[in-house]
Amino acid sequence: MIKILTIVGARPQFIKAAAITRKIQSSFDRDVNEILVHTGQHYDQYMSEVFFREMGIPEPAFNLGIGSANHGFQTGEMMRALEELMLREKPAGVIVYGDTNSTLAGALAASKLFIPVIHIEAGLRSFNKSMPEEINRIVTDHVSTMMFSPTVTGIRNLEREGLVHGDSAPYHIDHPGIFHCGDIMYDNTLFFKKQSEAFSEVFENLKADRKNYLLATIHRPSNTDSTERLGQILNALLVISKSLNTEIILPLHPRTAQKLRAFPDQSLIGSLDPLNGIHLIPPVSFLDMIRLESHARLIMTDSGGVQKEAWFLKKPVVILRAETEWVEITEHGNGILADASTEKIVQSAEYFLNNPPADFPPVYGNGDAAREILDIITTVRWG
């Protein structure tokens, strides 16, 4: 039995962890003793608790309650608390997901204690170090012992940085194991899609036209923290709803909600109203989100996870960024990088509404990534 400490802290990590935890419970409970640690990075009920409840993830064994703060303080506090916990629990390995400050803190605290780091969703790169996530990913990959990349592009990115799969186990930090496997987010979309149709009540509480809406999310600091960029995106939403005659549903990340409250042009914010076809709603649960994504005519987002869910659900996506880590989507023409330009966003939305793509080849695996990953963790020698 391998004792693994899994570190999560932010919304997409609860969702990613659900796939692995579910598979441990169903097929690997004799091999893996998983101890779930929540750093407390996200803490609002609809940014945290709802995912545990709805997705069947057990209560975290530890919640460090770190909360929001500047990067250095937040990451430092997490590291301090995680180090103490790791010294006490003495896990054989630590799983971290993705690219948040919780990922970085977990990877640094573990590697300095010589505890092997298992990075799930390794190798993704935007080649834009002004994104905090890019720094978190690069550092995490370079201190990892086992890396699981959901894309071939991710494997190539790691190779370019000199991180190459050592061909013989046991793997260790200087001789890492690097594996291409599917995307655990796809496991979740498949698993929760039916439940979402059966149980989500998201439309019942919303006065939107459920046959004619676009779904949008915005939360990247590059978009929310710039009045110019946020203004361009919000204007695009207004233009689209008027000129393309469609409604827009926008579940608001708390970072974005805060920035809207402080936005200098409050008349623009006031016009984001159901009367103008725009529905601003609080963040929604995963079942609600999958239902909203499934029925949308197209998706507009700067989220990594939402870009891929658009692909899984065969929806075109207008990406509100200048670059993406998920290049397969744009290379296949099923996503357009519209950045934060009103004109490009409107043009891209119009293009996709008139030309919905039909071909979504299985570049993110077959929906059984959690099993692939756990098979490797439990059979290959690493330490």
Q: Is 219 a catalytic residue?
A: yes
Q: How far is the CB of 281 from ligand UDP (least distance, A)?
A: 8
CB 316, CB 357: distance < 8 Å: yes
Question: Which is nearer to ligand UD1, 219 or 315 (by Cβ)?
Answer: 219
CB 65, CB 37: distance < 8 Å: no
Q: Name the catalytic one among 42, 119, 180, 219.
A: 219
Contacts of 31 (CB under 8 A, 6+ apart): 1, 2, 374, 378
CB 99, CB 64: distance < 8 Å: no
Question: Which is nearer to ligand UDP, 92 or 327 (by Cβ)?
Answer: 327
What residues does 217 pair with on adjacent strands?
301
How far is residue 321's CA from residue 188's CA, in Å, rounded to a whole number? 25
Residue 351 within binding range of ligand UD1, rule CB under 6 A: no
* Amino acid occupying residue 34: E
What residues does 336 pair with on adjacent strands?
318
Going from the C-alpha of 299 to that of each of 251, 286, 296, 315, 356, the distances in angstroms are 12, 16, 7, 7, 12
Applying CB under 6 A, which of residues 34, 77, 141, 309 lies at the interface with ligand UDP?
Answer: 309
Question: Which is nearer to ligand UDP, 236 or 306 (by Cβ)?
Answer: 306
Residue 176 within binding range of ligand UDP, rule CB under 6 A: no
Tell me the window of 113-121, 150-158, 300-308, 323-331 that interacts with ligand UDP (CB under 6 A): 300-308
What residues does 178 pair with on adjacent strands?
147
Q: How far is the CB of 277 from ligand UDP (least distance, A)?
A: 19
Going from the C-alpha of 91 to that of each of 85, 173, 355, the distances in angstroms are 10, 16, 51
Residue 121 within binding range of ligand UDP, rule CB under 6 A: no
Question: Which is nearer to ligand UD1, 140 or 149 (by Cβ)?
Answer: 140
56: Cα separation from own chain's centroid: 18
Q: How far is the CB of 349 from ligand UD1 (least distance, A)?
A: 23
Residues of the shown chain interacting with ligand UD1 in the complex, contacts defined by CB under 6 A: 10-12, 41-44, 47, 68, 99-101, 132-133, 219, 253-255, 258
Residues of the shown chain interacting with ligand UDP in the complex, contacts defined by CB under 6 A: 11-12, 15, 217, 219, 251, 283-284, 286, 289, 303-306, 309
